[in-house]
Amino acid sequence: MTPTDSSSHHEHAPFQPIAAILAIIFPGAGHAYLGETRRAILIACGVLGLFFGGVLIGGIDVVDKKEDFVWFVGEALVGPIAFGTDYYHQHHLKVRVQVRNQLRSANPYEIRDPKTAYPIVVRNPETGAPVDFVDPRTNQVRTSTDADRPPNSKSVGRVNELGTLFAAIAGMLNLICIIDAAYRHNIRAPRREGAF
């Protein structure tokens, strides 16, 4: 085998910065930019399917930058979708603790005040019996009903673990796709119309 043999000669793929940025912004967008539409669709379906599958399995609480930061690092690799999901979870579903002004998931006997985000106790924590409270929407005192529930409930046990794992694996899979889009070696011309 000679040094000029084509099997021993490897060309490095050129760096594609625009494709890498697009792949970070949305799964599969980098490959779509490079003209690989089919691959882009498969990547988007796979990564987003895993991510939203994890959210459906474990609830929105699986994407939580405050309580599960290590897992969120993996989930963040999905892109702005993960940050948007976490923002919605932190600012629209969690309640604010009055002592340290931190956010936490609401307990089963609490609801969230939509204006202040502070928890409002609507059931006796020990017995679960309805109690009188000031409704934040009407500012009138009323007794709680079965409709007064927390905005979300934290999933427990294996359900939460599986949902978190699905979402984190989606991020890691997208990292591979980002690297693939950034250093794509064989950039093919777009296929003829009608071919998939």
Question: How wide is the angle at C-alpha 166 spanned by C-alphas 159 and 177, nearest 5°?
Answer: 175
Domain residue extents for the chain: 14-92+155-190, 106-151
Q: What is the pLDDT of residue 162?
A: 96
> Chain-centre distance of CA 10, in angstroms?
38
Between the CA of residue 65 and those of 107, 139, 177, what are the distances in Å? Answer: 19, 33, 23
Q: What is the pLDDT of residue 60?
A: 93
Would you write out the chain's pLDDT as a tens digit for each of its 196 residues? 455 554 445 577 789 999 999 999 999 999 999 999 999 999 999 999 999 999 999 999 999 999 899 999 999 999 999 999 999 999 888 888 877 778 888 888 888 888 888 888 888 888 888 888 888 888 888 888 888 888 887 788 899 999 999 999 999 999 999 999 999 875 555 555 655 5
pTM: 0.79
Q: What is the C-alpha to C-alpha distance for residues 23 and 80, in angstroms, rounded to an integer?
A: 11
